[in-house]
Amino acid sequence: MFSNIGMRCSNYLKTAALFSVIWLILALIWASCGLRLPMLIWFVVLGIILSVCTYWLSGKLAIRMVNAIEVSEDEEPVLYGIVREISARIERPMPHLYVAPMDSPNVFAIGRSE
C-alpha cells in the first residue's frame, strides 16, 4: 500500500493553517467590533460555517476555477487506462477524471479520503 507519512503530515499542517487563518481573521474582526460577547457568538457561528464550507466545497471550487469538465472513458480511453493502472498499483479507488482547457499539461488531486 502506498503511504507517505511526510506528505500526509504536510497536507494536514497546510489544512490546519488554512483554518487557523480563517479563524484569526474572524477574531481580528471581532476584536475590531469591540470584543462584545454577542458578537463573539455570531463570529464563532460564522467561523464554523466557513470552515465546513471550505472543507466540503474546496474540490468543487478548484474544478470550477480551472473550467474543468468531467470526461468519460469513451472520451479519454488512454487517460483512463493510465489512471486505472496507477490506481491499481497504489491500491486506491479510481478517481473521477476532469480535463481543463490549459496550454500546458497539468495534473492535480483534490478531495478527501471517503
Amino acid at 72: S
Residue 1 pLDDT more than 50?
A: no
Listing DSSP states for the chain in one string gives: ----HHHHHHHHHHHHHHHHHHHHHHHHHHHHTT--HHHHHHHHHHHHHHHHHHHHHHHHHHHHHTT-EE--TTT-HHHHHHHHHHHHHTT-PPPP-EE---SS----------
List the chain domain ranges. 1-57, 66-114
Q: Report the predicted TM-score, pTM, of the whole model to 2 decimal places.
A: 0.57
Residue 2 pLDDT more than 60?
A: no
Give the relative orientation of helices 5-32 and 37-65 as an angle to the nearest 10 degrees: 130
Question: What percentage of the chain exceeds 90 in pLDDT?
Answer: 14
